[in-house]
Amino acid sequence: MKLIAGTPHPQLTDAVARELGIEPTPCRIERFSNGELAVQIGESVRGEDVFVLVTHTQPVNEAIFEQLLMIDAAKRASAAHITAVCPHFGYARQDRKASGREPITAKLVVDMLTAAGADRIVSVDLHSSQIQGFFDGPFDHLTAAGVLRGWITQNLGQDVVIVSPDAGRVKTAERYVRKLGSDLAIVHKTRSKAKLNTVEARDVVGDVNGRRCVLIDDMIDTAGTIVAAAEILQKHGASEVYVATTHGVLSGSALERLEAAPIKRVIMTDTLPIPTSGPTGKLEVVSIAPVLAQTIAAIYEHKSVSALFDGENHS
């Protein structure tokens, strides 16, 4: 087994390697004066199972291209099998045409990984699970629900209300409810026609009065959806509001919005680099490294990946 990682998020790579009990395979990555990347794998990978771990963090385009170059290098070095491990999958929100003359960029990213030489793809909590169908090979869609539920159980118990911030996350929230035996609520939101990229939370379906609420989402980008949902939960009498999310994109003024919002704690995994200091102290990070390591080990040993999640990664 060879674990190769790029420059984005080296802390995650090191944590995964520790879980596996191996050292990351050295890889030289340099940049020419015009910005072009040069990649060279530091040791032989001939006949090996190679896992190329790159999370698509900012700048996203560079992270993706770096992964493509490493996959191509491994293929040309006669690797037996190449798995592209993308904890956060770039362009996952562009999984369909929402209007005319638009690309389906998530499909394009999958096509590029295929053309580079990836035999398999691994990712965590895709924005849309249909992206698995863009790849004509094994696509392991992992979930961070187990580690996030562990934090909820340990710190809040089961007497909480699991809240979906919009209709699109209801199925995810329902999985938490089934496992925790908690209650469910749903925030009804609309996109503002007056202000671009502005979310307006309209109402809450479910009883949250006097209850501790946990908002569940796959990612926090600008934090508009989560903050709007937290504010309406507070208006409906929620005693405390927590947030549990997989991907902390945290672009723009997201951290400032979270600090000003009626949110007690934001729990997220380290699929992306999370700032340890800054405008808010509400962030708490739980590691996704054990999940990735167990999955890589299962693939290498030709064991079931679904068994690691009790089938939850397919629901």
∠ CA 34-36-39, nearest 5°, is: 145
∠ CA 297-301-304, nearest 5°, is: 80
Distance CA 20, CA 27 (A): 18
Amino acid at site 7: T
Distance CA 114, CA 109 (A): 9
Beta strands 37-41 and 27-31 are: antiparallel
Give burial (CB, 10 Å; 0-12/13-18/19+) of 18.
middle
Catalytic residue, chosen from 189, 195, 264, 303, is: 189
With beta carbons less than 8 A apart as the criterion, state whether 118 and 109 touch: no
Considering only CA atoms, which of 213, 265, 261 is closest in space to residue 237? 213
Let me know if 189 is a catalytic residue. yes
Active site residues: 189
